[in-house]
């Protein structure tokens, strides 16, 4: 079974009905088989953005508690690999959340990344491999 990794954008769009990608994110979430794998930096970014838009970040934590979302990366344990990715893509610059997601894509070989971020079209896992994406368009 293909593992679905989830980025900040779809999480924010899913819980924010005013987001331009809300309808698309809801449709995708209904079609995806949980659990969706993410990392703590993604939840931090998403919580900040949801709150800034007037939403409830606790909705994201509820999804974690319910098992819809799971944390698939120990940032401390993967710090060297994540740091190497951030250095490799320093010209982008790559956020901690993005680096963790690329690392997750290396750890979960049979995966796709649920994202709105076009930077993932350029990032590579394991040096040269593109990351399978689930994104609009």
Query: Is the pTM for the entire model greater than 0.75?
Result: yes
Beta bridge partners of 133: 113
Q: Which helix (H) or strand (E) holds 129?
A: strand 129-130
Look-up of token digits 């344990």: 77
Token pair in block for residue 53: 């838009």
pLDDT tens across 52-93, in order? Answer: 999 999 999 999 999 999 999 999 999 999 999 999 999 988
The 3-state DSSP class for residue 119 equals helix
Full set of structural domains in the chain with CATH? 3-134 (3.40.50.1010)
46 touches 56 (CB < 8 A): no
pLDDT tens across 88-129, in order? Answer: 999 988 999 999 999 999 999 999 999 999 999 999 999 999
- Dist. CA 109–CA 30, nearest whole Å: 23
């Amino acid at each position: 079974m293909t593992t679905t990794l989830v980025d900040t954008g779809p999480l924010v769009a899913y819980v924010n009905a005013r987001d331009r990608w809300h309808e698309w994110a809801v449709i995708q979430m209904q079609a995806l088989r949980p659990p969706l794998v993410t990392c703590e930096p993604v939840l931090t970014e998403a919580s900040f953005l949801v709150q800034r838009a007037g939403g409830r970040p606790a909705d994201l934590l509820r999804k974690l508690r319910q098992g819809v979302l799971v944390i698939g990366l120990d940032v401390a344990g993967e710090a060297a690999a994540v740091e190497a990715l951030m250095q490799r893509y320093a010209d982008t610059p790559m956020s901690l959340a993005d680096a963790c997601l690329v690392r997750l894509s290396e750890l979960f070989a049979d995966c796709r990344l649920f994202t709105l971020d076009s930077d993932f079209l350029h990032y590579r896992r394991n040096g040269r491999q593109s990351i399978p994406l689930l994104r609009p368009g």
